[in-house]
Amino acid sequence: MLSVYEAIRRRRDVRAEFTGEPVPEEVLNRILGAAHSAPSVGNTQPWDFVVVRRPETLDVFAEHVADARRRFAESLPDDRRTTFDPIKIEGIRESGMGVVVTYDRSRGGEHILGRHTVDDTGLFSAVLAIQNLWLAAAAENIGVGWVSFYDEPYLTELLGIPGPVRPIAWLCVGHVAEFQQVPDLERFGWRGRRPLADAIHLDEF
Amino acid sequence: MLSVYEAIRRRRDVRAEFTGEPVPEEVLNRILGAAHSAPSVGNTQPWDFVVVRRPETLDVFAEHVADARRRFAESLPDDRRTTFDPIKIEGIRESGMGVVVTYDRSRGGEHILGRHTVDDTGLFSAVLAIQNLWLAAAAENIGVGWVSFYDEPYLTELLGIPGPVRPIAWLCVGHVAEFQQVPDLERFGWRGRRPLADAIHLDEF
Give the model's pLDDT for residue A203: 98
Chain B residue whose CA is closest to A154: B117
Q: Which A residues 148-167 touch B at CB under 8 Å?
A: 148-152, 159-162, 165
- Which among B148, B141, B168, B188 has a CA at the least distance from the CA of B7? B141
Chain B residue whose CA is closest to A150: B117
For an interface test with A, give the residue of B124, B151, B152, B168 to mutate (most A CBs within 10 A): B124
Pairing state of beta strands B200-202 and A47-52?
Answer: parallel
Domain presence at residue A203: no
pLDDT, average across residues A4-10: 97
Q: Is the pLDDT of residue A71 over 90?
A: yes
Interface membership of A5 toward B (CB under 8 Å): yes
The CA distance from A100 to the nearest CA of chain B, in Å, is 9
Q: How far apart are CA A49 and CA B49, in angstroms?
A: 30
Give the model's pLDDT for residue A2: 87
Alpha helices, H only, chain B: 4-10, 25-36, 55-75, 78-84, 92-95, 121-139, 152-158, 184-187, 196-199
Q: Count interface pairs A-B at CB distance under 8 A.
A: 265
**Chain mean position to CA B105:** 19
Domain presence at residue A89: yes
Please tell me which of the candidates A43, A44, A130 has its beta carbon nearest to residue B128.
A130
Question: Which residues have C-beta within 8 Å of that of residue A66, sequence separation ≥ 6?
Answer: none
Domain presence at residue B16: yes
Give the model's pLDDT for residue B53: 98
Q: B205: exposed, middle or buried (C-beta count within 10 Å: 0-12, 13-18, 19+)?
A: middle
Residue A1 — pLDDT band, cuts 50, 70, 90?
confident
Residue A92 — pLDDT band, cuts 50, 70, 90?
very high
How many residues comprise chain B? Answer: 205
Contacts of B53 in chain A (CB under 8 A): 202-203
DSSP string, B116-163: SS-TTHHHHHHHHHHHHHHHHHHHTTEEEEEE--S-HHHHHHHTTPPT
The tens digit of pLDDT for each residue in A27-50 reads 999 999 999 999 999 999 999 999
**Hey, are the CB atoms on A53 and B202 less than 8 Å from each other?**
yes
Q: How far apart are CA A175 and CA A20, in angstroms?
A: 7
Q: How far apart are CA B185 and CA B22, in angstroms?
A: 27
Contact A143, A175 (CB under 8 A): yes
**Hey, are the CB atoms on A148 and B41 less than 8 Å from each other?**
yes
Domain presence at residue B191: no
Please tell me which of the candidates A68, A111, A159 has its beta carbon nearest to residue B76.
A111
Quote the DSSP letter at residue B15: S
Contact A125, A39 (CB under 8 A): yes
Q: How far apart are CA B122 and CA B136, in angstroms?
A: 22
Q: How far apart are CA B12 and CA B45, in angstroms?
A: 26
The CA distance from B11 to the nearest CA of chain A, in Å, is 9
Q: What's the 3-state SS for A100-146?
A: EEEEECCCCCCCCCCCCCCCCHHHHHHHHHHHHHHHHHHHCCEEEEE
Domain presence at residue B182: no
- Give, for B50, the enclosing helix (H) or strand (E): strand B47-52
Q: What are phi and psi of A166, to 5 degrees?
A: -125, 125
The tens digit of pLDDT for each residue in A182-201 reads 999 999 999 999 999 999 99
ipTM above 0.85, yes or no: yes
For chain A, list the strands marked E by DSSP: 47-52, 98-104, 142-147, 165-175, 200-202
Domain that residue B39 falls in: 4-177
pLDDT, average across residues A108-133: 95
Domain presence at residue A42: yes
Interface membership of B205 toward A (CB under 8 Å): yes
The tens digit of pLDDT for each residue in A159-169 reads 999 999 999 99
Interface membership of B168 toward A (CB under 8 Å): yes
What CATH number does the domain containing A12 carry? 3.40.109.10
Quote the DSSP letter at residue A41: G
Interface membership of A134 toward B (CB under 8 Å): yes
Interface membership of A27 toward B (CB under 8 Å): no
The CA distance from B174 to the nearest CA of chain A, in Å, is 16
Domain presence at residue A197: no
Domain presence at residue A192: no
Interface membership of A81 toward B (CB under 8 Å): no
| Count: domains in chain B | 1
For chain B, list residues with pLDDT below 70: none
Give the model's pLDDT for residue B2: 87
